[in-house]
Chains A and B, each alone.
Chain A
Amino acid sequence: MSLPRLARSRSALLAVLVVVVAACSGATSPTPAASGPAPSAAQSTVPSTAPSDQGGKLSVGLSSDVFTLDPAIGYDVYSWPAERLLYDTLVTYDGGTTIVPSLAAEMPTISADGLTYTFKLRPGVKFVGKGGEPIRDLTADDVAWSLSRLMRPDLTPTVSPVGTGFFTVIKGADEVNAGTAELASGIKAIDPLTVEITLNQPDRTFLNILAMPFGSIVPKESAGTDTAAFAAAPVGTGPYWLESFTQDQVAVFQRNPQYWREGLPKADTIEFRFSQTAENQASLIKANELDITLDLLSQGDWAALSNDPQYKDRIALGDMVAFYYLMMDMLTDGNPFQDQKVRQAVNTAIDKDNIIRVVSGRGTIADCIFPPLLPGHDPSCKPYAFDVEQGKKLMAESPYPNGFSTKLYTDDVTTDGAVAEAIKADLAKIGIEVEVVQQPFDTLLGTMTTPGAAPLVYLGWFQDFPDPSDFIDPILSCATVIPNGFNVTGYCNEQLDKDGVTAKANPDLNAVLPDYQDFQKRIMTDAPIAPILVPKLDVFHSERTPDFTIHPVWAFDLQSIAVKE
């Protein structure tokens, strides 16, 4: 899931609250194989809210701009919360991890073979543009257009196939991605309010995929191939419309008067304030001049505020369904990380206890791929104990007994830089000379998804949805070894991919959890990555938002935050 988002350790957005996930894991996804309409959640989707909870202005701080407001290409912790203000998806999550209808009037009918999903759309939902004026009603054609558009190869100014990987399960997706078809043949508008989606193979996670902001429904006449143009004048069905966007300064979202969901949104206005340092944002929140920040607290503020009786109750805390890991490029010819012994040596050489100290305890050690709150977590999976001597031995047996020099890329978050420096010191002990390069998140995304550009990358992976396949398919499968893909390591194990497809076709996640536990052990033997830590999320908020809680999937569900003036 969102590498990107996860990458932003600061925003931590994807973080799924471990506890919630653990509690709900079995029920997280609807079972695709069941035929017949799933129980309608239309009425119970969102608890109705007293009007008194609504109104006011919510101010949200970020340390940089939002990269994009076009849901076809946004995939990071800043873009997603903003996109979710403007657009809706067919299905979404309730306050927890249960999928509920959104633009769909009810849960879809799923064919017995698990391949065909039929959605009835909610009637009378309006697209709105600037001014909150209704433009027209949503139709089934918009669904076909939107889900195909995100896979098009001709999106400009730059192609971003980040969402494509999730949606290739739809029949006809390959033709769209190859540029030979405009619409995926597997998406059919049966009538204006009925859409049928056919998959290539059964996929337990398909509704989770539709719930991602990539699955936002946008109107064809506004959302063409120019993503910059659409981001500048977005049109959607979401709870807000975009009033203004001043680069590097502020974006203002106003309540959509046409919004169909009862009781939402809470605040009348949401303001994104860009380009303030984490320290300034914390000062503004202390003074109640800013309500919430999408950034993590700086190390200094975390140490001070979490021990200050005046402020500590205003820090919402949660474990994330995420892990930070070191990716090793095993694809580029001549790169030492092509050698398995080198990769295993790296795994044994990193002192993770020290790294937890470096992050001031805002995390726990990751020994394996699946974090504790993800279904499939296996506490016994500890393939590489910290052992510098073993690391030296493995290096001596490798084609690089005298070591080598390389570069480690990470984002510009202070703690990520500090962890990278700690890794550098550890690897020096086994003869690997590392130069640490910190880049802003957007830039790093470009660097790491350019084949051969980054031998080592340190970043986090946050769940897109609570399913172990989300910690393998997007980052460690053959299908994502593509330019701009997130399998930075280039790791490709065809047998593992085949086994993964079989496991994913099984609608009963619990039945295949042992398979996933086996997959992660096989991957760790090949060692394309070195898991480092599981992050914690801390969100400092103002007194005006006393009821703020971390959403188990979105972390920040901004439209649900009530502001008390």
Chain B
Amino acid sequence: MTKLQNAIVGGVRAVIGHVPESWLPGGTPDPLIDKRVTLGEQQSRVDGPDKVRGAARFAAEVAMENLLYAAFVHSTIARGRIADIDVSAAAAASGVALVMTYRNAPKMSVPPPIGMTNLKAAGNHTLPIMQDPEIRWNGQVVAVVLAETREQADHAATLVRVRYDAAPARTRFEEGKASAYTPESILVERNRIEKGGPSRKFAEAAFKIDAVYTTPWENHNPIEPHAATIVWRDGKLIVHDATQMIHGTAGSLAKIFGPNAGDVEVSSPYVGGGFGAKGLWDHQILGAAAAKLADRPVRVALSRASMHRLIGGRMQTEQRVALAANADGKLNGLLHHGFGVRPLHSICDEGFTLTGRSLYASESFDIVQHYVDLDLLANSFMRGPGETPGTFAIECAMDELAHAIGMDPLELRRRNVATRDPLSGAPHSQSAMMEAYDLGATRIGWDRRLAEPGVRREGEWLIGMGCASGTFPFMRMPGTSVRITIDASGHAHVSSAAHEMGMGTATVQRQHAADRLGLPLDRVTVTIGDSSLPFASFAGGSSQTASLAAAISSASAKLVAELMRIAGNDTPLAGLKPSEVEFSDGGVCSVGDHARQESFASILRRANRSDLSVVGESGAPLEIMKYSMHSTSANFCELRVSEVTGEIRVDRLVGAFDCGRILNAKTASSQFKGGMIMGLGMALTEETLLDERTGRILSTSLADYHVPVHLDVPDIEVLWTDIPDPRTPLGARGIGEIGTTGVAAAIANAVFNATGKRVRDLPLTLDKLV
């Protein structure tokens, strides 16, 4: 990310800022914001029955004849070279078909890095994969074993003998800080911000807090570990993958293995959870390479241990936040500095310092983040990247400031909530965070909270309440396209290479298409999850719903025009222009006179057509250049802390969300709750344990990496403002990531309220409280 990029983005924003609103996408609010039939309802997932019956086929379950199973050998040093690798015993072991190392691996180019400019790229790091004897992190794959059974492959992998020439490795965070680097930009935002004279504001402020917060390395741990079933057929690479980047994976594999992107097919109809982890990593690439060498299909199904060693997680961060306020709590200064571990070979930004730029109208800002380059596995995107660790620091700091002033923390937010973008001055497309706060406060009974910490008690349990804001930017990806096909019976078939990781993609877009096209739900089908379908961007950044919705909206406009064109002159609609008709009741009718209508089936029949297809695309997301667009939330927590053991038991979580209109109450509620549980895990237990002496990850199973168990998860209540965003398709903003943001801070703030102890280092394990 360069200075040039900052200049370009700044220039585009300046120009867009002067463009009339009606020119921009969403300039005319989407009529479906109000004209809803099935949208907004509770709808069960269309993929639910197949999943419950076990009929849904996941990547590791795709049947294939002559299949070989892969096992990986991981490096045990962080830096150095393979001096010798003896595969003879492994190759001779029962059932083994191939042992692949850098010595016999096919030539592969470096994966093209994922980014905003190339939507067919999905690489998470820029390192060569099994092309040389170099070791770049502890856990890197040094050999792939293919065998007739998984057990044979696993056994043979233990027989590979590797001797290393170890080199000094940089694996310690504290030591790495000294040589941290400072990028010019974070995602598409300028990194260094100094505005409004922060040093003077801090010097003059009535109240100040200044503290350092840390968040550990975390791993995603979806219920389905990464897996792919891979075959080369007539020179074409076919990958049944578990991915949230179908076309990115297909495009990247085409670049890695050959010149022609059309030669790679990726299918991924069901993904058992992604959270940012299900992208392109070494396992698909190595699996494809080994399948090519062995000339047989290969199944790669990562163990939890391999997953932790090969799939990057959320970077470790250390964040300093200083806040200054005047006597009535108005923010004079917001300082947010920090370090995060991002190896130079890593692609992913973790914009934890973006959080404080949008939430509060401080008079001055002093913001910059640095990256620590270590010899570790590349970090990656994990639910709410940037804002999840960022809100922990900012929202704990707000709580500390409220306590210092002696003000209710909710009131402190009310006095500082931004009414437009605090840095650029751009107007909000829509924002009602304080309405979310009011909803949540009422639900949890915030008036029961005692301002003085450590005084509510039941037996050995100290009881406390906390709150914190959550935030995540709106994103809509360009290039996502859908095909709508109307068949002879008047049914609509919507298709796109979009992704289903459990969030209800097809379910919600089926509701959307039904409402958009004036059809009942049972006359709409949605097909996703395969690269043969129209191009779709990744399912990430909470952008997929908006991107697909824009594409369906665009396609439906084309569909009207096409229907009118083939309808001819013998239709009741004759003489009307496409702009004078709309979808209604399974066909097209005059806007002013619904009696002038002809059904899809009738139009196709007369035109002698068996079907009619159009493709629409999500255009450039210029709205995000003009408007400040963020989902926001108010998190509330009530919990107990044992005075004896320091154990925390969270009794209640309330999340109140301002994310535009909610499209499906059932799937949205599940998304929010899942996100909040991930935030709960971040707060209480989750930590990737790294041995800094060796760069070795220790927590390689679900017994060692603690995600919350059922008993940790309290009653979770989810509320939403449901206020439409007039600048987005369907009036909706993303809901996938925001659920996680702010939760850890709300819990840490509640712990402070309960105990009077301020723990600034996650996770909040009991040893930090006794």
Same complex for A and B? Answer: no
Interface residues of A, Cβ cutoff 8 Å to B: none
Interface residues of B, Cβ cutoff 8 Å to A: none
